[in-house]
Structure 1
């Protein structure tokens, strides 16, 4: 039988109820077309005027979100009279760097703004707290996820209960504890209570539970102990969760305010948050001083923004990253 005859027979087998090669090819073509249609962006499925309206709405919302940051950046280069007269102007009338010179001690009036001391205190506390949370939260999360000991479920319940308590409700007890231990108004009081975070423990516990137990069992067969398995096998696999925890810990400790408010009272322990709060309330001189205040606020946001943009891929995909690829 010739090839033409074979194709004719296969295409005419539908009358017998059998699935032919032609039917299979047609079905595969329909599936590919449906997949291509389903993978198209949502806006491309609408007419052109609707798409233009949708993109315009998205761009408008984005510009509206960026407007406060643009005003913050521009106001830092204005003079005090210009900022008071034209607070919403996106271009300074007379550009100047006087605010930044005063913040970094490059002008004669810089003695009233100890910005570098605030910055160094915030950096010290943020680095130590972030390192402590990454270490201790990961260890506690692994213990709650893998180790079997009496009271494990009750302990995890306490962790969830701590997450449910508002931080404001703990301000007075926190002050009394720090004062009783004699560490009030010290770097120890600023750092030690923040070294462990209930939310970080919860994040790491949930991630470690997604790690296949076969990986740990294979390491134990090779003679590795519990800490060796955690440190050399499981922890390197938890890089997405660790990066997520690092970003959240650094951001939380860098922007912390209420804890530092009840843990210190001396000016030498002021951070960017407490120092800027005293500055905005008029504790460092009269007048509006909008350029100086917004310049300091802008500089305080740059480290967190830089950290997030460097690791945003891991931060966004951390919750969906698996431990082992099959």
Structure 2
């Protein structure tokens, strides 16, 4: 009995291209590196131009020549901006508001998310739905009611008057709830059997395991609090209690000529640089925190 050899059928898939083949290289460059480079340039180039413009004189900024680099890197515009506006006091105000406000927001988000996941109480889903509903309401809607309430309580031109209306954080509660739901139930049950109460379970088990997600919430709140402009502008009239974004408006109103672009750019760099450094130092937590709990076994 002889064996019959059949040729390869046409249904077999074509051979896959090699990792270093021309097809793979072209696809990687066009679909990966080119969009990444373009997106990076869109974000980075305005920041680079702002930093370079902060060292240029008015004649260099208003010229028709394409001069990318300034003739001198002397911090003249920075000293002029510091003389016109008390940046030291404004920086202290922003630091206090950002540190206290973001810290309270993170603590409230942790406790609220823990209660929504691990504490049994009626209408839990309804409460969570109301938390999500706050994400759909524009913050500008609550400016007038908050202003009437805070002024009535005597909170105008005070730190607590700036901080109090923005303490509710629906985003942080939602993100941490999703993270807490992905934690192994056996760990929480074992701690409960050992006699650990809710406070101990939250501080010694849930919070340490969820550090990347908590760091993400903290970083987002720090950036938001530092850049907040509308509410401090409304509730503060005393220049000594203004934050950096509002103080930048004072400088813009006093330096409204075309020859003051360099001074305004220098002031903008001083406002943006601290939060950029914080974001660059902790940005790796954003990816880790946002992806935690996204996939469940």
User: Which TM-score bucket, shorter chain as reference?
Assistant: 0.7 to 0.9
What's 1:165 paired with?
137
Cα contact 1:75–1:87 (8 A) shared by 2: no
Residues 48-88 of structure 1 deviation map (CA, whole Å, 9 limit, x = unaligned):
9x948985675455334422112101111111232233596
Once the two structures are superposed, the pairs formed by residues 244-283 of structure 1 within 5 Å of their partners are 244-280=216-252, 282=253
CA distance in 2, matches of 1:301, 1:161: 31
Larger radius of gyration: 1
Give the number of aligned pairs.
Answer: 286
TM-score normalised to the size of structure 1? 0.78
Deviation, 1:193, is: 2.0
CA distance in 2, matches of 1:298, 1:175: 30
CA distance in 2, matches of 1:220, 1:291: 61
Deviation, 1:320, is: 2.2
1:58–1:229 Cα change, 3 Å: closer
Structure 2: gaps (5+ residues): 5-14
TM-score normalised to the size of structure 2? 0.85
Once the two structures are superposed, the pairs formed by residues 6-85 of structure 1 within 5 Å of their partners are 40=19, 45=24, 47=26, 51=29, 59=37, 62-85=40-63
What's 1:18 paired with?
none
Cα contact 2:54–2:262 (8 A) shared by 1: yes
Structure 1 vs Structure 2 CA RMSD: 3.2
Deviation, 1:195, is: 2.6
1:223–1:255 Cα change, 3 Å: same
Residues 90-126 of structure 1 deviation map (CA, whole Å, 9 limit, x = unaligned):
112354311122344xxxxx1x211121111111111
Cα contact 1:44–1:51 (8 A) shared by 2: no
CA distance in 1, matches of 2:21, 2:272: 35
1:56–1:144 Cα change, 3 Å: closer
Deviation, 1:171, is: 1.0
CA distance in 2, matches of 1:96, 1:268: 29
Deviation, 1:154, is: 2.0
CA distance in 2, matches of 1:87, 1:252: 38
Tell whether 2:83 aligns with 1:100.
Answer: no
Tell whether 2:264 aligns with 1:293.
Answer: yes
Once the two structures are superposed, the pairs formed by residues 130-145 of structure 1 within 5 Å of their partners are 130-145=102-117
What's 1:238 paired with?
210
What's 2:118 paired with?
146
Which has the higher relative contact order, 1 or 2, with Cα contacts under 8 A spaced 6 or more apart? 2
CA distance in 2, matches of 1:88, 1:68: 16
